[in-house]
Amino acid sequence: MKAIAWTLALSLGVLLTVPLALVLFVTTLATRAVAMNTCTPPASAIGLPQPGSPRQASLHNPPTEIPAAVLALYEAAATRYGLPWTLLAAVGMEETNHGRNNATSSAGARGLMQFMPATFASYGVDGNGDGGAVITDDADSIHSAANYLVASGALLGPDGVRKALFAYNHALWYVNDVLYYAAAYSGGDVAENPCVTDDTDTTGTPLTGTGPATDAVNAALRWLGTRYSWGGGTPSGPSTGICCSPGGQDGRVVTGFDCSGLVLYAYAQIGIRLPHLAHDITYNSGGQVIPRDFAQMRPGDVIGFSYTPGGRVFHAGIYMGDGRMVNSDGSGVSLDALTTGYYSRLVWRVVRFVG
């Protein structure tokens, strides 16, 4: 909704003489410069189009955990209006990080979903059953966003979704940001870490000591620096993967590991067979669930990451002690910090396969 001023400018005739291609070109130049995208989201939610380019906020702001109360509002509004909840969550992430940054914008947009007051006057609805529509009420804001998207064509297939998002904010990067976040929150069917993080390290030394858990960690550490390959990794080591990741990587031409491929390889070296899917490794393979507590975690524990409590696990790594894990992410097989940064902000499921 931050671009409603654009619509007002059109109504005043300010931009009527400017070619659309030039408007989009200038808009692109005006966006903040960002590093080359190293993120690839999991597969999109059913019925939603894949994200494209350009993108802006999602290049440097990874999706965050959704507060339980806000998630319930997304789900309720999605049910009411027939939308994927991930689409509403994606708008909420893009606009205010699910209400964490919901101050009134410089353009005057307000509330969790950042409505302009004039737009809310037309599309605002009662989302909490109290008989009124209040722009700063989270339930009303989310339900009103769903109402606006449906009114703008979001139920008319992938093209309708794109048109509805463009109506919500008149920028192509905005449409692709939202679709990126929706894809990430959907969880997907193949595990992949969406980002190369600032804490990535491709150097390390083997753990000392003996035992199967240590052996599993050291098996993974032997491959530090190996490239990431979508679908890559077998019980025997790195391999070519499959085609293709949502970001377009063709694993068939890269020898390496994806996240679950590295985990299944490491555990195969100690005689434990695991599936090639992060969610199944952490939910459906019989491991003992361990609290998210470094005092109780041990080297060799497998950590699965999701965006919501009980949500689909999209990435996995092997804990190696000292608040770090070995994993295969966008930078390949590397070590990443768990105490700060990207992974510290996600929901964890920790499982133990050996004592």
pLDDT tens-place string over residues 28-44: 222 222 222 233 333 33
Q: Three-state SS string across 110-144, please?
A: ECCCCECHHHHHHHCCCCCCCCCCCCCCHHHHHHH
The reply to whether the predicted model has a pTM over 0.75 is no
Q: What is the DSSP string of 200-259?
A: -B----PPPS-SHHHHHHHHHHTTTTPPB-TT--BTTB-EE--B--TT--BGGG-EEB-H
In one-letter notation, the amino acid at residue 224 is L
Residue among 319, 349, 351 nearest 335 (CA): 319
Per-residue pLDDT reduced to its tens digit, 175-195: 999 999 988 887 543 334 444
How confident is the model over 144-165, as a mean pLDDT? 91
d(CA 48, CA 38): 22
Give the lowest-confidence range in 44-53, 116-125, 163-172: 44-53
Query: Could you tell me the domains of the chain?
Result: 4-186 (1.10.530.10), 212-352 (3.90.1720.10)
Residue 20's pLDDT is what?
34
What's the pLDDT score for residue 102?
A: 87
CA distances from 129 to 5, 74, 140 (A): 31, 15, 9
**pLDDT (average), residues 340-354:** 90
Rounded to whole angstroms, how far apart are CA atoms 146 and 133?
A: 14
Note the residue count of the chain. 355
